[in-house]
Amino acid sequence: MWLINSSIGRKVVMSVTGIALILFLTFHMSMNVAALFSAEGYNMICEFLGANWYAVVATCGLAGLAVLHIFYAFWLTMQNRRARGNNSYEVTDKPAKVEWASQNMLVLGIIIAIGLVLHLYHFWYNMMFQELVDPSAIYSNPSPADGYAWIEQTFANPVNTILYLIWFAAIWFHLTHGFWSALQTLGWSGKTWFCRWKVIGIAYTTVLMVGFAIVAIIFTLK
């Protein structure tokens, strides 16, 4: 199967899963911003996305996309290193036109993965997971459906806020390269659109990460 056996196929998988994850981040950021305007409205969304079958199925699908993306990222990285062979140990000047994010995608990916584990512990573990394994947890304080309280509790600790801001910065660098690179792989990047996609990607990613960061900072300052 060419999606597995060829380098281009693996890059296509990376691109498609990456775009899907960007779309999820867009939804997630929009949902988080809602918490700035209405605790009740935000908790209504959390309750709708709680331990319901459709939310669990969507979560499993999202997890599958993330695992595929991470697995193929490491696979492509190892493939590139094997292709370079002994040349990978030679001291060479880095090409001036190669972006820093492009040169450090693996490192950024590792930081993002560590941040994801922290995020899952703070929110998914205390919300959906607790509701799934212990239905009586809905009577606890805060309850698994009280997403607003979990945001308050998480960002009441400035250390968490700093860690999340570092995480957001890593995601920003990762996506500013990954956005246009994914579209280029899928063939949506001619000479005219190459620079445009880069500008659009930087702008879009900046809006996303600023949205996440504003929520974290405002809840810390409350």
Q: Is residue 89 part of a domain?
A: no
The predicted structure's pLDDT at residue 22: 93
Contacts of 58 (CB under 8 A, 6+ apart): none
The residue range of the domain holding 74 is: 12-84+99-221
- Which residue in this structure is represented by tokens 């990762």? 174
The predicted structure's pLDDT at residue 96: 47
Q: Is residue 146 part of a domain?
A: yes
Q: Is residue 93 part of a domain?
A: no
Q: Is residue 5 part of a domain?
A: no
Contacts of 153 (CB under 8 A, 6+ apart): 142
- The Cα 59–Cα 65 span in angstroms is 10
Q: What is the pTM of this model?
A: 0.86
Q: Is residue 208 part of a domain?
A: yes
Q: Is residue 2 part of a domain?
A: no
- The Cα 8–Cα 198 span in angstroms is 21
Q: Which two tokens stand for residue 144?
A: 């698994």
Q: Do residues 104 and 128 touch, judged by C-beta distance below 8 A?
A: no
Task: Count the domains in the chain.
Answer: 1
User: CATH number of the domain that 209 lies in?
Assistant: 1.20.1300.10
Neighbours of 3 (CB within 10 A): 13
Q: Is residue 90 part of a domain?
A: no
Q: Do residues 50 and 58 touch, judged by C-beta distance below 8 A?
A: no
pLDDT in tens, the chain (222 residues): 666 777 788 888 889 999 999 999 999 999 999 999 999 999 999 988 887 888 889 999 999 999 999 888 888 877 777 776 554 434 444 444 556 767 777 788 889 999 999 999 999 999 989 888 888 877 788 888 899 999 999 999 999 999 999 999 999 999 988 888 888 888 876 777 778 888 999 999 999 999 999 999 999 998
- Which residue in this structure is represented by tokens 């809840």? 219
| Eight-class DSSP state of 127 | I
Q: Which two tokens stand for residue 160?
A: 């968490």
